[in-house]
Amino acid sequence: MSRVLAFDFGASSDRAILGTYEKGELSYQEVHRFENNPRDKDGHFRWDFEELMANVRLGAQKAGTVDSLAFDTWGVDFGLLDAEGRLLEDPVHYRDQRTAGLVEEAFKSLPAGELYRATGTQILNINSLYQLLALRQQEPQLWEKVHRLLFMPDLFAWALCGAQACETTVASTSQLLDPCSRSWSQQVLSAFHIPQELFAPLVKSGTVVGEYQGAKVIAAAGHDTQCAVAALPIPGKDAAFLSCGTWSLLGCELDQPVLTDQSRELGLSNEIGANGKVNYLKNIIGLWLIQESRRQWRREGQEYSYADLERLALEAQPLRSFIDPDAPEFAPPGDIPDRVRDFCRRTGQPIPETVGQVMRCIYESLALKYRFALGQLTLATGKSFSTLHVLGGGTKDGLLCRMTAACTGIPVIAGPVEATALGNILIQLKALGRLGSIAQGRELIARTEKVTRYEPQDHASWEASYQVYQDMLHHTNF
């Protein structure tokens, strides 16, 4: 029997999941759940690292004796250590506004086409590269003290066992890694005068990096999307995936990165998967729109459960008005419902006034953006997709899954719900020698985990709306 502990960090809620593997069977249970509460501190929006680490240690205590543990988190963010190995400050949140305007400024040192060919990463102002440029430009005194950068999953591992390592999947979100050589891009480091010594040694997913209270500390796929994709139940050759949580990442597995100008213009990204393949994907703002809308209504004194919001959306008129989820105004925290109304007003659409109308607009816009992203993947790869596998928390949202199937016209296979934690567990079991490969782990997931299949219904009614949606995206230049 092997007992492994997966720490799965999301942007708002985090869990410690204990996996037990015995006689070819896998079981798992949540042993600790805790909130992730970023806050404004010292002029920036930050993660509360001390509070998160207190919960990590509590989760490990609740789990008891385990053979190993590993972390997966969101991408791009990092912590900074000084020469004595001390954390200099709480890590800055990717939604902080310090990188505003830096993408265009960076192009003066390395044009967009060259930057994309060097890294294959969708050019977004949240990427680690621009966060680093902001740090050096805006806080030179702090920059002088920095000795080592650790991405978030590696930072948690360091805090437990002192290891300084950089796991490849999370590094591939940074806009600093060469996806062909799987090493730091010398072109990018040189263009922006970033010393390579800033980064810990790169390690592959599934590397044992240290020990904590007798348990091996393993660098799993540090980026949670890659953990989720690792638990994809035996995908067919024409399958796409949608890792659906606070962010939606829609993509497919490829053997080689796509580094063309077309790929860059389509906003597609090449990330390294736990199995060594390239996860070619589109970053789309996802359930954040629903989560932050709910928080806004709570701030206004109106409390709605997610079930309430889904019910109100169902009661609203369908296919009435749409947003681009990736319009820049939807990224920061705040009054998302008012921004939805303003977007519709500016684009000449009916303005959603009620809670149900706002929610219907968000749900339908997400489904339409997923279809749009599938079309972009097809354009860039020449692949046609016959199924869409939805992984993670979004699998519990039946309305979104049904809308996505109806809008795309292909079946949606939803599950497993705990894909990210399961992928983390599978990678640990492989590192411990209990599984031979990620493919074997996927076979285990396909055999034991429940999935729900949604067939396309009423696809024709979405066709006219999709044409309207495409025109809207074209005219708003998002």
Active-site annotation holds for 261: no
State how far the Cα of 330 lies from the Cα of 342, in Å rounded to an integer: 11
Residues 6+ apart with CB under 8 A from 196: 184, 186, 189
Contact 95, 333 (CB under 8 A): yes
Point out the catalytic residue in the list 90, 224, 326, 397. Answer: 224
φ/ψ of residue 398, rounded to 5 = -60, -35
Alpha carbon of 121 to those of 89, 204, 267, 280, 286: distances in Å?
27, 19, 8, 10, 19
Q: Return the structure tokens found at 71.
A: 């972390």
Q: Which residues of 252-267 are buried (b: 16+ CB within 10 A; e: fewer)?
A: bbbeebbbeeebbebb
Q: Which residues are catalytic?
A: 224
